[in-house]
Amino acid sequence: IRDAKLMRLKAKRKGTELAINTGEFEIPHQASLSDVLGTLVEGKAVLHKITLPEGRTTAQLLKIVEADPLLVGDMPTEDIPEGSLLPDTYLFNRGMTRAQLVAKMQDAQTKLLDGLWPKRKADIPVATPYEAIILASIVEKETGKVDEQPEIAALFTTRLRKGMRLESDPTIIYGISQGEPLYNAKGQRRTLRRSEIDRKTDWNTYQIDGLPKTPICNPGRGAIEAVLNPPDTEYLFFVADGKGGHLFAKTLQEHNRNVAAYRAYESKEIAKERAGE
């Protein structure tokens, strides 16, 4: 708009001066003043989006929020608890502050839990919504496949009922690095060491009974729903299948066969990689 005074005068004559909306609007090329005025009064402000992925720690999600160039303002000054944000794709108007978006993510999780908690299965071994988030965070980190989350939630539910330890690798990692990947001296991603599995922390579910002291990430809706309403299964063990999924077992004997199958698959893949070098 080249002449703001002319624009205000035209709005006043039309009686729409007080009805002009604030925000960012898409104005057609070569639009007249009347067209622009109509857009500001009747049009919808442009919405931008930011995607916060499931399974990230609070620190990791806050880095995404901080880096978004369309948000304004400083990050929240208060501590944001682990597991208190609901991962999702959020729409926002240009000018929204980072603190407002973080509060929106917290409110979204609160509303989700308020709706799901009363509909939970009566016999699940989590006593509070916070405990549900803790267990859901473990389910979220164990699998990237949404269709597997109910099975893993059911498996962990059964283990808790039987007084068995969860024995979840991601809980060990969180106790070591707060959820950041582990690297060797060469800067390469590495697996867990026996000494780390044996090290007792407040999160290592190989060494502690029940649930960790806090969530280990921010779980998505699917993992939360799976924990609150797990299917009825008899699975007690699972291992990666090497293809992005898992093999489930009801007995230790069956589990050991699955582990052997996975190790054979892994060895074959390593041999292929070396042959191609």
The DSSP symbol for 97 reads B
Of the candidates 126, 109, 132, the one whose C-alpha atom is nearest the C-alpha of residue 215 is: 132
Residue 18 predicted with pLDDT over 50: no
- Position with higher pLDDT, 15 vs 196: 196
Q: Give the other-Cβ count within 10 Å of 183's Cβ.
A: 11
Dist. CA 248–CA 110, nearest whole Å: 32
Which pLDDT band holds residue 7 (cuts at 50, 70, 90)?
low
Please give the average per-residue pLDDT across 132-146, as a whole number: 96
Residue 245 vs residue 220, higher pLDDT: 220
Mean pLDDT confidence for 243-262: 93
Rounded to two decimals, what is the model's pTM? 0.83
- Cα–Cα distance measured from residue 19 to residue 112, given in angstroms and rounded to the nearest whole number: 34
**What are the two backbone dihedrals, phi and then psi, of residue 72, each rounded to the nearest 5 degrees?**
-125, 165
Q: What is the pLDDT of residue 77?
A: 87
Tokens of 87: 């991962």
- State the pLDDT confidence band at 59, using cuts at 50, 70 and 90: very high
Report d(CA 115, CA 100) in Å as an integer.
22
Mean pLDDT of the chain: 88
